[in-house]
Amino acid sequence: MPVDAMPFIEPAETESRRIVRGLHRKDVALINELVGRYHYRLVRYLFYLTARRERVEDLVQETWVRVLRSGAQFDGRSRFETWLFSIARNLAIDDLRKRKIDSLDTPDAALPEVPSAGELRALDQSSPFLATARSEDAVRLAAALGLLEPIYREVLLLRFQEDLSLREISKVVGAPVPTVSSRIHRGLDLLRSRWQGGANAV
Amino acid sequence: MPSDPHQKARFLIDESLIAGIARDDERWLRRHTGECRDCARYEELTSRIVGELNSLAFEIDSGMSARVQHAIARHALRRNSAPHWRWGLAAAALLIAAAPIYKTMTDKRREAEIERADALLLERVDARLSQALPTAMEPLTAPAPAQTAPGGRIR
């Protein structure tokens, strides 16, 4: 390996170790730094997952408090955002369950720990996405996203918006990699047909 | 992998964006989309959607980050003040656990004292008996003097 290639590996390792050490010490200064760094992505993820702007701030706060409280559980073997998103997702699902929104779908029998499509759909209110759209394409995409089943929307956003690998998405959503892959394929199919449907409607 | 070339091309187009594809598949796909206008359009549409997904703008409340940081600081402060009452709770638990142990120890000591007193008493009773008994027995053990009946006849 060329000597000048080393610094590209070393800082990332050091950064990961620094986060692990800081979280183990419950270092508030480090957590505030992480809030600054991941705030936008966390808010965006929770917004697109829950489609409820009014619940997002509480969930974001709870997520960071959980990071502070359970920081010792982060071992640095995965990227910090993978761990962060999985905490946020679990809190969003717990929040949904606490609110006792009735599921319309049967739960996924193979993955009982994963919320059912109905539970995730119950989070969905489709319209908030349109408010964020800036261009004609963005409006069309936001409309198509709003109509999409949340289990597909979630994996599409984690893959193409958050740039997580299939393995990382699998950790966040608690589903096997092949399931994640097939959900993304299916999600893209649905998005394409709705995008084209929207275009034809216009 | 689908056997129909168009289905295969569309699968590879998606897969290249989802997980990446092998170099051979990539070459095959380039050749196919170079010849098939429908699949080329499919690829263009998919790239456009994914590009749009990637760049979806999102506006957030600028004060939210500060509020979140404030909430974390408040939580950390509560955590730091928690040890005082936790120590109190631990001490109370220790006292509750120690009470039966202390009672057993006190009972044992009292039993030992009673045993010691009993032994002393028995010892003293024994000593008295050993002194008093020979004196009391003396008239019985001493040889009896010969008794003379009136009239000088020995009975």
Return the CATH number at A23: 1.20.140.160
- For residue B26, what are the domain limits? 5-54
Q: Is there a domain that residue B13 lies in? A: yes
pLDDT at B143 over 90: no
- For residue A40, what are the domain limits? 3-201
**Tell me, what's the ipTM?**
0.71
Helices A177-201 and A136-147 cross at an angle (nearest 10°) of: 120
Contact A60 B54 (CB under 8 A): no
Q: Which residue has the tokens 């893959």?
A: A159
Instruction: Give A190 or B140, the one with higher predicted confidence.
Output: A190
Q: Kindly list the residues from chain B whose CB atom is less than 8 angstroms away from the CB atom of residue A192.
A: 42, 45-46, 49
CA geometry: angle A101, A45, A15, nearest 5 deg: 135
Contact A132 B61 (CB under 8 A): no
Output Rg (C-alpha) for chain A, integer angstroms. 18
Q: Is there a domain that residue B15 lies in? A: yes
Contact B53 A192 (CB under 8 A): no
Instruction: Give A173 or A9, the one with higher predicted confidence.
Output: A173
Q: Is there a domain that residue B24 lies in? A: yes
Q: Using a CB–CB cutoff of 8 Å, tell me whether A143 touches chain B.
A: no
Among A73-87, A115-129, B52-66, which stretch is predicted with the lowest mean pLDDT? A115-129
- Residue from A22, A30, A69, A62 nearest A43 by CA: A62
Q: Kindly list the residues from chain A whose CB atom is less than 8 angstroms away from the CB atom of residue B50.
A: 160, 188
Residues present in chain B in total = 155
Q: Is there a domain that residue B85 lies in? A: no
Q: How many domains does chain A have?
A: 1
pTM above 0.95, yes or no: no
Summarize pLDDT for A49-85 with one digit per residue, the tens: 887 778 889 999 999 999 988 888 888 888 999 999 9
How far does B40 lie from chain A, in Å, by closest CA? 14
> Taking residues A35-50, what's their average pLDDT?
89
End-to-end Cα spacing for chain A: 55
> Taking residues A85-106, what's their average pLDDT?
75
3-state secondary structure of B72: helix
Residues present in chain A in total = 202
Instruction: Give A72 or B136, the one with higher predicted confidence.
Output: A72
B46 Cβ contact partners less than 8 Å away, ≥ 6 residues apart: A188, A192, B13, B14, B17
Which DSSP category does A169 fall into? H
Contact A39 B68 (CB under 8 A): yes
B38 Cβ contact partners less than 8 Å away, ≥ 6 residues apart: B6
Q: Are A46 and A53 in contact (CB under 8 A)?
A: no
> Taking residues B46-52, what's their average pLDDT?
92
Summarize pLDDT for B68-117 with one digit per residue, the tens: 888 888 887 777 665 666 777 888 888 888 888 888 888 999 999 999 98
Q: Is there a domain that residue B108 lies in? A: yes
pLDDT at A186 over 90: yes
Confidence category of residue B19, pLDDT binned at 50, 70, 90: very high
Q: How many domains does chain B have?
A: 2
Instruction: Give B25 or A140, the one with higher predicted confidence.
Output: B25
- Residue from A48, A15, A68, A52 nearest A133 by CA: A48
Among A34-48, A96-110, A134-148, B6-20, which stretch is predicted with the lowest mean pLDDT? A96-110
**B75 sits in which H/E element:** helix B64-141
> Taking residues A91-97, what's their average pLDDT?
88
Best of A161, A167, A193 to mutate (most B CBs within 10 Å, chain B): A161
In chain A, the residue whose alpha carbon lies closest to the alpha carbon of B69 is A32
Q: What is the pLDDT of residue A168?
A: 95
Q: Which residue has the tokens 């990227």?
A: A79
pLDDT at A111 over 50: no
How far does B88 lie from chain A, in Å, by closest CA? 22
Q: Using a CB–CB cutoff of 8 Å, tell me whether A65 touches chain B.
A: yes
- Residue from B23, B32, B34 nearest B2 by CA: B32
Q: Kindly list the residues from chain A whose CB atom is less than 8 angstroms away from the CB atom of residue B72.
A: 28, 31-32, 35, 61, 64-65, 68
Q: Is there a domain that residue B102 lies in? A: yes
Q: What is the pLDDT of residue A118?
A: 52
CA distance A8 to A14: 11
Cβ pairs A/B, distance under 8 A: 99
Q: What is the pLDDT of residue A12?
A: 56
**A88 sits in which H/E element:** helix A80-98
Q: Using a CB–CB cutoff of 8 Å, tell me whether A196 touches chain B.
A: yes
Q: Are A67 and A31 in contact (CB under 8 A)?
A: yes
Q: Is there a domain that residue B72 lies in? A: no
Q: What is the pLDDT of residue A110?
A: 32
In chain A, the residue whose alpha carbon lies closest to the alpha carbon of B58 is A132
At B34, phi and psi to the nearest 5? -70, -25
Strand partners, B148: B154
Q: CA dist A131 to A51, B51, B56, B92, Å?
A: 11, 19, 11, 57
Contact A157 B53 (CB under 8 A): yes
Confidence category of residue B134, pLDDT binned at 50, 70, 90: confident
